[in-house]
Amino acid sequence: MSEVLTELQARYNRLMEQAVLDETTQIFIADLLSEVEKLQTSNVALRRTILKSSSKESRMSTKLRDALYE
């Protein structure tokens, strides 16, 4: 979990402890934080997939490529 998400959750918890938020707002913010967490997890998975696919590409050495193009 990222530091930003952790900080947002801590701020949300402090607001709940202070009873500043009404019930509808609490539910809304909890849903938003849940969605952010899901999106962050998805983002990490997509980054891993991109890194794996880019590392599997065949890469020619510069000398070999230059020789083939001559």
pTM for this prediction: 0.62
Q: Which residues are CB-neighbours of 60 under 8 A, at least 6 positions away? A: 68
User: What local confidence, expressed as pLDDT, does residue 58 receive?
Assistant: 62
Instruction: Report yes or no: 16 and 26 within 8 Å, Cβ to Cβ.
Output: yes
3-state helix, strand, coil split of the chain in percent (to 5) is 80, 0, 20
Q: How far is CA 22 from CA 17, 26, 29, 58, in A?
A: 12, 6, 11, 57
Query: pLDDT tens, 4-52?
Result: 889 989 988 888 888 888 889 889 989 999 999 999 999 999 999 888 8
